[in-house]
């Protein structure tokens, strides 16, 4: 049975990607990891998803989450809410090397 390494949900055989986290499923449930680390924040979901796809193509699993508590990801308002890209601690340096520099101000 395949598992999502982020949300740890199990899926039926034949499923290849987690529909929520958009990451490749694994054959075994990995040991629990600390919470994913935010490596970048973008002004909206579409821009965050674009950069997240670049990370996924480079083999770095990642999550896109709304930066505003209680804001849902998806829908009309996602274009107006900042979104974070989060990765595993082991992937932080690789992800930061591929993402645009963070604006300090």
Q: How confident is the model over 33-47, as pLDDT tens digits? A: 778 899 999 998 889
**22 and 42 fall within a common domain:** no
> Does 104 map to a domain?
no
Same domain as 84, residue 66: yes
Q: 65-95, pLDDT tens digit by residue?
A: 888 876 655 566 667 889 999 999 999 999 9
Indicate whether 62 pLDDT > 70.
yes
Note whether 15 and 58 are same-domain residues. Answer: no
Can you give the pLDDT at residue 77? 67
pLDDT of amino acid 92: 94
- Going by pLDDT thresholds of 50, 70 and 90, the confidence category of residue 105 is very low
Domain of 79 in residue numbering reads as: 37-98
For 58, other C-beta atoms within 10 Å of its C-beta total 13
Kindly give the residue spans of alpha helices, DSSP state H, lying in 1-105.
45-57, 92-98
Q: Which residue has the higher pLDDT, 6 or 16?
A: 16
């Amino acid at each position: 049975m395949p598992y999502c390494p982020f949300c740890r949900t199990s899926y039926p055989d034949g499923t290849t990607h987690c529909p929520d986290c958009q990451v490749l499923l694994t054959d075994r449930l990995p040991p629990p990891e600390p919470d994913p680390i935010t490596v970048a924040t973008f002004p909206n979901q579409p821009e965050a998803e674009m950069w997240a796809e670049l990370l996924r193509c480079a083999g770095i699993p990642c999550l896109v989450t709304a930066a505003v508590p209680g804001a849902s990801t998806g829908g009309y308002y996602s274009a107006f809410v900042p979104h974070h890209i989060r990765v595993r601690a082991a992937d932080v340096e690789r992800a930061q090397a591929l993402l645009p520099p963070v604006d300090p101000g």
